[in-house]
């Protein structure tokens, strides 16, 4: 598994990382998560991303691979300890949330704590960023980051206070390629691509009632010819995300232990050929309108 240095951090991140939301929201069993993460670590995974609000994701990860803590970089997020939609960006609340994450993950420190998609206004108030800096001073995290999109992500980079940016990048979400990634690269930030497969939203025959409904709609307009070939569609989508300049790791979510091997084999084929990459970019520029913003 190829690794890329995560910006100015000392982390050499595997290009394929693990996104921990699905195991939480889909209530994967402890056994499944142990199998999934154990075999992935054996095969080269070294980035695991989770959040305080992904139901039991942190606890499941702690139980499954806590004993192998030195084998991987552990990222979490804070801001919604009471569940998504019940945000609390006050300084003390955020510190409590990080402390709770450490307990749930069964570790003395994580490698990265990220603000979980707070608004531009919250970022501008500054307290939330100060909270992460305090967590770093206390040794609870080695690095701090912002996870989010659009104008807030741009502002987060401009503050110069974050080590990393986690942002949506995929065949159906390309705003970041112009709005944030060039600046993040210039500043030496680590970049983590979230939702790197656009939630495979093209697999549905009807508009899904889900947070990826927008991707479904966009893909119907984008009509990429490669999506018609089921056997190569996921590989092309994943290799596109990892071919974007400035991206260091793509955190794919799944509850299925066999996915890691499948996705690792796709990634091993390296970047997309330039003509395929340029074709996807050209199609996006042709049809994307101003409403096609980065999706949180």
Ligand X SMILES: NC(=O)c1ccc[n+]([C@@H]2O[C@H](COP(=O)([O-])OP(=O)(O)OC[C@H]3O[C@@H](n4cnc5c(N)ncnc54)[C@H](OP(=O)(O)O)[C@@H]3O)[C@@H](O)[C@H]2O)c1
Which candidate, 158, 162, 167, 157, places its Cα nearest to that of 130?
162
Give the nearer residue to ligand X in terms of CB position, either 210 or 223.
Answer: 210
Name the minimum Å distance from CB 279 to ligand X. 20
Question: Cβ of 109: how many Cβ atoms within 10 Å?
Answer: 17
**In whole angstroms, how close is the CB of 253 to ligand X at the nearest point?**
2
Q: With respect to ligand X, which residue has the nearer C-beta, 137 or 177?
A: 177
Sign of CA dihedral 164, 176, 207, 259: negative
Q: How many CB atoms lie within 10 A of CB 83?
A: 11
Dump strand ranges (E) for 197-270. Answer: 249-253
Q: What residue ranges bind ligand X (CB under 6 A)? A: 19-22, 49, 77, 116-117, 147, 166, 194-200, 234, 251-256, 259, 262-263, 296
- CB of 113 or CB of 137, closer to ligand X: 113
Residue 115 CB, nearest approach to ligand X (Å): 9
- Residue closer to ligand X (CB basis): 42 or 262: 262
DSSP H helices, 44-149, are 57-65, 91-105, 120-125, 127-137
Rounded least distance, CB 217 to ligand X, Å: 16
Please identify, using beta-carbon distances, which residue of 45 and 275 lies nearer to ligand X: 45
**Structural element, H or E, at residue 218:** helix 213-222
Looking at the Cβ atoms of 46 and 139, the one nearer to ligand X is 46
**Among 44, 17, 2, 8, which Cα is nearest to 184's?**
8
In this complex, which beta carbon is closest to ligand X, that of residue 180 or of residue 263? 263
Contact 68, 37 (CB under 8 A): no
Give the integer Cα–Cα distance in Å for 37 and 34.
6
Q: What's the rounded Cα separation, in Å, for the pair 55 and 47?
A: 20
Q: How far is the CB of 236 from ligand X (least distance, A)?
A: 12
Q: How far is the CB of 258 from ligand X (least distance, A)?
A: 9
* Of 133 and 258, CB closest to ligand X: 258
Q: How far is it, in rounded angstroms, from Cα 175 to Cα 190?
A: 18
We find the least distance from the C-beta atom of residue 61 to ligand X, in angstroms, to be: 11
Q: Which residues of 225-244 are buried (b: 16+ CB within 10 A; e: fewer)?
A: ebbeeeeebbbbbbbbbbbb
- Tell the smallest beta-carbon distance from residue 116 to ligand X (Å): 5
């Amino acid at each position: 598994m190829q690794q890329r240095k995560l910006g100015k951090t000392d982390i050499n991140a595997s290009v394929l990382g693990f996104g921990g939301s699905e195991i939480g929201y889909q209530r994967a069993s402890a056994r499944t998560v142990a199998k999934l993460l154990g075999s992935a670590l054996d095969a080269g995974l070294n980035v695991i991303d989770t959040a305080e609000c992904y139901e039991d994701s942190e606890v499941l990860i702690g139980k499954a691979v806590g004993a192998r803590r030195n084998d991987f970089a552990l990222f979490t997020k804070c801001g919604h300890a009471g569940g998504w939609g019940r945000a609390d960006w006050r300084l003390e609340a955020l510190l409590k949330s990080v402390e709770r994450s450490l307990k749930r993950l069964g570790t003395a420190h994580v490698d990265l704590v990220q603000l979980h998609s707070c608004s531009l206004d919250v970022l501008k108030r500054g307290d939330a960023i100060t909270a992460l800096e305090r967590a770093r001073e206390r040794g609870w995290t080695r690095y701090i980051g912002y996870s989010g999109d659009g104008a807030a992500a741009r502002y987060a980079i401009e503050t110069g206070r974050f080590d990393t940016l986690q942002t949506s990048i995929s065949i159906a979400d390309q705003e970041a390629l112009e709005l944030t990634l060039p600046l993040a690269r210039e500043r030496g930030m680590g970049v983590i691509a979230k939702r790197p497969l656009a939630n495979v939203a093209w697999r549905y025959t009807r508009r899904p009632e889900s947070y990826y409904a927008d991707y479904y709609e966009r893909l119907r307009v984008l009509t990429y010819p490669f999506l018609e070939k089921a056997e190569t569609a996921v590989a092309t989508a994943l290799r596109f995300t990892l071919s974007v300049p400035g991206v260091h790791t793509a955190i794919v979510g799944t509850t299925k232990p066999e996915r890691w091997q499948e996705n690792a084999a796709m990634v091993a084929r390296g970047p997309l050929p330039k003509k395929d990459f340029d074709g996807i970019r050209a199609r996006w520029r042709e049809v994307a309108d101003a409403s096609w913003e980065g999706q949180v």
